[in-house]
């Protein structure tokens, strides 16, 4: 016992120091947002705000259309996730349960599509959206985000359906369900946690996009997403870091909250493929 105590203390110190260093940038973002202009220019820097300006968030929301940007991001994510989930639930189920000719090639294509750089697809998509008059509308972003989300969700869902025993459907069909009915009434309800995790993952992917929003929405200010709006603030406001930090925190908040409360589901989806 005597020998174990210093080892345990050392472990705690290492863990605390490591966590503190790695999370420090997020802490620093919060401190900066709450700092007064004088504190921002002070050296040595203020590590603990003496008079935190809690009003900064209300101010920045009043001065900047941040709520509009957040609303647009939510709309884009909702549209892209809905569209992606609709097609990938069906496709994931098919890839998991049926032997379809060409299914494997489709699977390989989807897996490769997961690796595509946005800078490659953004050029032809620009051409297509220009031709159809969609540049500047949220529809362009919904479709562009679906290119990011569909490959992920299809694979995640196929993996999830693979873990559900086939006996469930067989039992349902013995009870008189059609194959489609077995899927809708038995498999989908059982898969609810997996579906939720997959949809959340899609939401995070959509929320994090900058490249497509920058390309398709720059000239349509009323449709700016949160990330796009935030970067325009960085460009113009070189000196006012408190405001930018406050806006950055607001933009990061939804995904941070999802992570903090639903970490288990998100991480489960992320590692599902690698463990097996």
Partner 1 sequence: MSRSAFLDLARPSRRHWLGYLLLLPAVLLIGLIIAYPLFVSVDLSFQNVGIPRLDQPRRPFTTMNYERLFTSPEFWNASWTTLKLVVIVSFFCFLLGLGTALLVNNRFKGQSLARLLVALPWAVPEVVAVVVFAWIFDSSFGLMNWVFIRLGLVDTTISWFSSPEAAFAVVCVTMVWKGYPFVSIMMLAGLQSIPEDFYNAARVDGANAWQRLINITLPSLMPVLGVTLILVMLWVFRDFSIIYVMTGGGPLKATQTLSIMTYEQAFGFFKMGYASAIGVVTLIVCVIASRLLMGRAPENI
- To the nearest whole angstrom, how small is the minimum distance from the Cβ of residue 250 to partner 1? 10
Is 6 one of the binding residues for partner 1 (CB under 8 A)? no
Q: Is 114 in the site for partner 1 (CB under 8 A)?
A: yes
Asked if 122 interacts with partner 1 (CB under 8 A), we say yes
> In 184-234, where do the E strands start and end?
none
Query: What SS3 class is residue 181?
Result: helix
Ramachandran angles phi, psi of 116, nearest 5° = -70, 140
Q: Is 110 in the site for partner 1 (CB under 8 A)?
A: yes
Interface residue with partner 1 among 83, 164, 190, 220 (CB under 8 A) is 83
Distance in Å, CB of 90 to partner 1, minimum: 4
- Judged by CB, which is closer to partner 1: 88, or 223? 88
Q: Which of residues 155-194 bind partner 1 (CB under 8 A)?
A: 166, 169-170, 173-174, 176, 178-180
Q: Which of 215, 217, 223, 224 binds partner 1 (CB under 8 A)?
A: 215
Among 58, 67, 196, 270, binds partner 1 (CB under 8 A): 270
User: Which one of 51-59, 60-68, 104-112, 189-197 is the stretch in contact with partner 1 (CB under 8 A)?
Assistant: 104-112
147 vs 80: CA distance, rounded Å: 9
Tokens representing residue 81 in the block: 């996730």
Q: Does 203 bind partner 1 (CB under 8 A)?
A: no
Is 86 a binding residue for partner 1 by CB under 8 A? The answer is yes
Distance between CA 149 and CA 84 in Å, rounded? 6
Decide if 95 contacts 158 (C-beta within 8 A).
yes
Instruction: Determine the distance from the C-alpha atom of residue 144 to the mean position of all C-alpha atoms in its chain, rounded to a whole number.
Output: 14
Least distance (Å) between residue 62 CB and partner 1 = 20
For residue 238, CA distances in Å to 46, 230, 232, 235, 245 come to 20, 13, 11, 7, 12
Query: What separation, in Å, do the N-terminal and C-terminal C-alpha atoms of the chain show?
Result: 38
Report the C-alpha gap between 82 and 149 in whole angstroms: 10
Q: Is 13 in the site for partner 1 (CB under 8 A)?
A: no
Q: Judged by CB under 8 A, which of 4, 5, 25, 192 binds partner 1?
A: 25
**Footprint of partner 1 on 32-61 (CB under 8 A):** 32, 40-41, 43-45
Residue 139 touching partner 1 (CB under 8 A): no
Q: Are 157 and 270 spatial neighbours (Cβ–Cβ below 8 Å)?
A: no
């Amino acid at each position: 016992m005597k020998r174990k105590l210093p080892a345990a203390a050392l472990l705690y110190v290492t863990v605390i120091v490591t966590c503190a260093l790695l999370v420090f940038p997020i802490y620093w973002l919060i401190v900066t947002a709450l700092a007064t202009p004088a504190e921002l220019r002070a050296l040595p820097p203020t590590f603990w705000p003496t008079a935190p300006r809690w009003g900064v968030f209300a101010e920045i929301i009043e001065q900047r259309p941040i709520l509009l940007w957040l609303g647009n991001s939510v709309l884009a994510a909702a549209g892209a996730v809905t569209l992606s989930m609709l097609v990938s639930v069906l496709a994931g189920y098919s890839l998991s349960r049926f032997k379809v000719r060409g299914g494997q090639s489709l699977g390989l294509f989807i897996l490769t599509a997961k690796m595509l750089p946005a800078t490659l697809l953004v050029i032809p998509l620009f051409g297509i959206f220009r031709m159809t008059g969609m540049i500047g509308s949220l529809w362009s972003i919904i479709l562009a985000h679906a290119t990011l989300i569909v490959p992920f969700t299809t694979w995640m869902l196929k993996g999830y359906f693979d873990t559900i025993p086939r006996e469930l459907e067989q039992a349902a069909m013995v009870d008189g369900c059609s194959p489609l009915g077995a899927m809708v009434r038995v498999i989908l309800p059982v898969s609810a946690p997996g579906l939720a995790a997959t949809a959340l993952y899609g939401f995070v992917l959509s929320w994090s996009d900058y490249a497509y929003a920058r390309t398709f929405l720059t000239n349509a200010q009323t449709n700016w997403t949160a990330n796009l709006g935030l970067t325009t603030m960085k460009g113009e406001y070189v000196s006012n870091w408190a405001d930018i930090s406050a806006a950055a925190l607001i933009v990061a908040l939804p995904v941070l909250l999802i992570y903090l409360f639903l970490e288990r589901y998100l991480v489960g989806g992320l590692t599902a493929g690698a463990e097996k």
